[in-house]
Amino acid sequence: MNKAQKLMIWILVIAFFVFTIGLLKNILLPFVAGILLAYLVDPIVTKLQKYKLSRTTATTIVSIICTLIFILALIIVVPLLRDQILKFSSNLPLYTAEFIKRASEYFPEEIIERFKNFFIDNANEAVKFTIGVIKNIFKQGIALFNILSLIFITPVVAFYMLKDFHSFTNQIKALLPVSHRNTIINLLKDMDIMINGFIRGQSMVCLIIACYYSITLSLIGFEFGLLLGIFCGFITFIPYVGWSVGFITSLLLAIASMTSDTDYFKPIAVCVIFAISQLCESNLLIPMLVGDKVKLHPVWVIFALLAGGTLFGFVGVLISLPVAAAVGVLVRFAISVYFKSSLYESK
């Protein structure tokens, strides 16, 4: 079998894989979520095994802890979030009117009118977009049945993936072509480092940042501190864009909630809070949790999230970053091979 035939086989395998995901995307969510969850917590299970616990026992302990955390979140966090979302939705017109009123004291009426029209137009578009997303979600089958499957099937998938994780990876290694096995294994290790650093590391960064924002914004008097903190922490996953959106949103709400024209405490506090978060994230959290081995460009991350969501919905969003990391490793490997090839060195 020549190189062209081998390349054609790999292209067909990848095409079949993509086609299968597109065909089964409506039922893949609990399985993809379970596999990702197993991958995220696998290091904890591996560490527990060092205390002479069996893989099954360690997996059971971790599964119980994850289940308890999930139940506590449902009991404590979800009701609070629901209440704050409802209050925020009802108070948004008041905040908008107050912000426009305060802005009119510093900007000409013409600019304020343009801003008002711009806000109204974009608000309508945002509502239409949100409704469209909800309809799209239901079209893709993520209705009551799929939510229930996400709740009940995902833990089962995660448990068995965790329990048989190493044997599963060993079986994959055994299927690799013998002539290229070492090269593929090294590439898979590089992908694991990339995915491990970005997915696990960035998830921890988002969680820490969300807790920080929720606590600090609540302490300075934000009525929706928990909601705003979780929102800002969640979108931190998108490099640079997430921080900017969170800061602008929080600052606008701080200005709109000023009790008087001289009450600048909240806006200044928001600036200080976000400045501290950016310094800590860039100089402490990212180097410590993500590391310098992760070379995913922010533009590539944003493109991967948008492309995955457009092609495969929420399932695409979940698998977009692992795929982006894998593609990044393959591209760098291809470039290194190209630099060593006669094609590059030919005159």
Residues 81-117 have pLDDT tens digits of 878 877 777 777 777 777 777 767 666 767 666 766 6
The answer to whether residue 289 sits within a structural domain is: no
Q: pLDDT under 50 in the chain at which residues?
A: 133-134, 137-138, 140-142
Predicted local distance difference test score (pLDDT) of residue 347:
55
The answer to whether residue 40 sits within a structural domain is: yes
Predicted local distance difference test score (pLDDT) of residue 136:
53
Predicted local distance difference test score (pLDDT) of residue 115:
65
Q: Are 194 and 325 in contact (CB under 8 A)?
A: yes
The answer to whether residue 158 sits within a structural domain is: yes
The answer to whether residue 153 sits within a structural domain is: yes
Structural domain count of the chain: 1
The answer to whether residue 160 sits within a structural domain is: yes
Predicted local distance difference test score (pLDDT) of residue 129:
52
Of the chain, the percentage scoring pLDDT greater than 90 comes to 5
Predicted local distance difference test score (pLDDT) of residue 276:
92
Predicted local distance difference test score (pLDDT) of residue 262:
64
Q: Are 270 and 247 in contact (CB under 8 A)?
A: yes
The answer to whether residue 62 sits within a structural domain is: yes
The answer to whether residue 324 sits within a structural domain is: no
Spatial CA neighbour of 326 closest among 199, 181, 136 = 199
Predicted local distance difference test score (pLDDT) of residue 285:
82
The answer to whether residue 171 sits within a structural domain is: yes
What's the domain range around 63? 23-106+141-175
